[in-house]
């Protein structure tokens, strides 16, 4: 199989890579780079566990994307939102709303939320649910995930509506 030389900016770092032209972005991230935060769920673009963000606002299924076609792109994974242990507002919202159970869909959900809020900073509940259609969660019934996305919209840096203080239960 032929190789292609590509440059990807992943979570702020630049990577010059030799990738086989038949390798998906998911395979390159997980197997070649060891970035296992992006998950394999189906390999056919149906579950959204492998969602990554391209150029800051576009969510794609990395299992359906050949890495060689992504030359020069800026890729963000769920790990890329955290700054050395400090969670970003989306991750914090998922934490506060207890929107996580098994956690396997979570990285994809967080990326999809980032993509939604980049395009639509103040989505309605219907818009949130519609945006999450490509990301399957089998644990939560989506209830707390939708709440987390709403909270993320409220707490985004520069969000119009300020978060009411101390609205959630916190561990002692």
Q: Is 10 in the site for another protein (CB under 8 A)?
A: no
Q: Mark residue 71 as left, alpha or beta (left: phi above 0; alpha: psi -120 to 50; beta: remaining).
A: beta
Q: Is 89 in the site for another protein (CB under 8 A)?
A: no
Q: How are strands ordered across the β-sheet holding 13-20?
A: 13-20, 3-10, 74-76, 51-54, 58-61
Q: Which span (38-46, 54-62, 115-123, 156-164) binds another protein, by CB under 8 A?
A: 38-46
Spatial neighbors of 84 by CB under 8 A, at least 6 apart, are none
> In angstroms, rounded to a whole number, what is the distance separating the alpha carbons of residues 132 and 40?
17
Q: Is 36 in the site for another protein (CB under 8 A)?
A: yes
Report the DSSP pairing between strands 3-10 and 13-20.
antiparallel
CA 103 from centroid of its chain's CA atoms: 12
Q: Which span (66-74, 97-105, 115-123, 158-166) binds another protein, by CB under 8 A?
A: 97-105
Residue with token string 């520069």: 158
Q: Is 107 in the site for another protein (CB under 8 A)?
A: yes
Q: How many residues bind another protein (CB under 8 A)?
A: 56
Tokens in use for 130? Answer: 């519609």
Quote the least distance from Cβ 89 to another protein, whole Å.
11
Q: Is 43 in the site for another protein (CB under 8 A)?
A: yes
Q: Is 105 in the site for another protein (CB under 8 A)?
A: yes
Interface residue with another protein, options 82, 154, 155, 159 (CB under 8 A): 82
Q: Which residues bind another protein (CB under 8 A)?
A: 30-31, 34, 36-44, 46-47, 49, 77-79, 81-82, 85, 87, 91, 94-95, 98, 100-107, 110, 126, 128-130, 132-133, 136-146, 169-172
């Amino acid at each position: 199989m032929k190789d292609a030389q590509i440059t990807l900016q992943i979570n702020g770092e630049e990577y010059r890579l030799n990738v086989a032209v038949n390798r998906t972005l998911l395979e390159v991230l997980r197997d070649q780079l060891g970035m296992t935060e992006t998950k394999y769920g189906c390999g056919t673009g149906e579950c959204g566990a492998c969602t990554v963000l391209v150029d800051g606002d576009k969510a794609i299924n990395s299992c359906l994307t050949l890495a060689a076609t992504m030359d020069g792109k800026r890729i963000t994974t769920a790990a890329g939102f955290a700054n050395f242990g400090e969670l970003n507002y989306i991750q914090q919202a998922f934490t506060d709303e207890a929107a996580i159970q098994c956690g396997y869909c979570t990285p994809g959900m967080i990326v999809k939320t980032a993509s939604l809020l980049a395009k639509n900073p103040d989505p309605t509940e219907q818009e949130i649910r519609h945006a999450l259609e490509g990301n399957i969660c089998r644990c939560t019934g989506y209830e707390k995930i939708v709440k987390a996305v709403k909270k993320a919209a409220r707490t985004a840096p520069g969000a119009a509506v300020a978060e009411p203080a101390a609205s959630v239960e916190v561990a002692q």
